[in-house]
Amino acid sequence: MNVETYLVQSAICSSYVNLLIFVAIFRTNSWNRFRYTLYAPGYDIVGRIFSKSRNKSISDLRINPGDEVLIVGAGTGLDLEYIIQDCHITATDITPAMIALTLKKNKHFGRNLTASVMDGQHLDFPEKWADKIILHLILAVIPDPVACLKECERVLKPGGRITEFDKFVPSGCSLSIWRKIFNPITNLLFSDITRRFEVIVSETNLNVESDIPADFNGNFRIIRLRSGN
């Protein structure tokens, strides 16, 4: 290897390391709030790509009349239309602009809805309170997915269920070099593409009832969990 090649490779490695450090610094609630405030006005254009999977995820959750339903990371409220009328929905999101759009959207759907700005890693609800919990496109975005899922486990009633729809490394597959290379960029802009659901759920006592491939050749999955209590 000549000196010029060595210097080029060193510069590339150094730039990549700097990018990793930069992304780590911005992996915070404040950064998520900032970027999703910017994305909020046009979020539905992309979000509706996953309408079929949202519908499937919520349908399989089997929400009953009178259920207390919690949505963590509600975004603009794209899940509302798939939830039955006669239950109570509590929608939370870290971004005030998203909550404002959720409330606006509900003027059309007329669901029994309470919406508030809240950190999904620190839910302000009592233990064993929710019958069903919806986690759509949140565990790959939130800074600490384990903390989020543990909080959901804490507030879930015994026998309650959680539905999770998100992008994860397919079960049993190794982490590809492309995921490793592009993850700092995707993580900065919208989402971590290297998270493994099996690792996240192993930190809880939740039981996996079903795990089915969804969009983009199974890179997105619909996973239903049940309280282990």
Residue 21 reports pLDDT greater than 50? no
Measured CA to CA, the distance from residue 156 to residue 138 in angstroms comes to 17
Q: List, in sequence order, every residue forming a beta bridge with 113; answer none if it has no partner.
A: 89
Record the tokens describing residue 183, joined without a space. 């993850």
Band (2; pLDDT cuts 50, 70, 90): low
What is the helix (H) or strand (E) element at residue 117, kind and residue range?
strand 112-117
Burial of 105 (0-12, 13-18, 19+ CB in 10 A): buried
Q: Which domain holds residue 54?
A: 3-226
Partnered with residue 133 across adjacent β-strands are 70, 162
Q: Which of residues 6 and 109 earns the better pLDDT score? A: 109
Q: Which helix (H) or strand (E) holds 166?
A: strand 156-167
pLDDT band, residue 77 (cuts 50/70/90): very high
Number of domains in the chain: 1
Please, what is the average pLDDT of the chain?
89
**Cβ contact 70:155 at 8 Å:** yes
> What's the pLDDT at 122?
97
Helix segments in the chain, DSSP class H:
3-25, 29-39, 43-47, 51-61, 96-109, 145-155, 177-189, 197-201, 215-218
The pLDDT confidence band at residue 129, using thresholds 50, 70 and 90, is very high
Q: Give the pLDDT score at 8.
A: 39
Confidence at 172, pLDDT banded by 50, 70, 90: confident
Q: Which CATH number characterizes residue 117's domain?
A: 3.40.50.150
- pLDDT tens-digit map of 189-228: 889 999 999 999 999 999 999 999 999 888 899 999 999 7
